[in-house]
Amino acid sequence: MEGMSPQLQNQIAQFQQVQQQLQAVGTQKLHMETQTREMERTVQELEKAEGTVYKNVGSMLITVKDKEKAKAELEEAMETMAVRIKALERQEKTLREKFTSLQESINKALPS
């Protein structure tokens, strides 16, 4: 980076930081989407389940006394996850715009 202006060095550092943030947000979003799909499958199975139903609490399985209440809790958790995913999507969009802007600015400043 020797011979580059301090401004260009700063832009490159920002670019790398935004790239890392984009990767982190993408990973979080993917993880939450996976959790949501898992919850959706759990709700489907819960609707079909007959007899005793159990839920995982820490390292223990506990009997579910009210299947409808358990289903409602899962659906509420899915709604919360959907809100978080939307927030991550907005953050990802903003970061992508900043990433593109910095990329264009750096490309213009670098010698051809």
pLDDT score, position 110? 83
Asked whether the beta carbons of 94 and 14 are under 8 A apart, the reply is no
Asked if the model's pLDDT at residue 75 lies above 80, the reply is yes
Band of residue 4 on the pLDDT scale cut at 50, 70, 90: confident
Q: Which of 14, 12, 105, 100 is nearest to 4 (CA)?
A: 12
Instruction: Name the pTM for this structure.
Output: 0.84
For residue 55, the cross-strand partners are: 62
* Region of residue 7 (left: phi > 0; alpha: psi -120 to 50; beta: else): alpha
One-letter amino acid at 27 equals T
pLDDT score, position 59? 95
Q: Of how many residues is the chain composed? A: 112
The CA-atom distances, in angstroms, between 36 and each of 33, 53, 59, 70 are 5, 20, 21, 15
Asked if the model's pLDDT at residue 103 lies above 70, the reply is yes
pLDDT score, position 2? 65
pLDDT digits (tens, 9 = 90+) for 78-101: 999 999 999 999 999 999 999 999
pLDDT score, position 112? 64
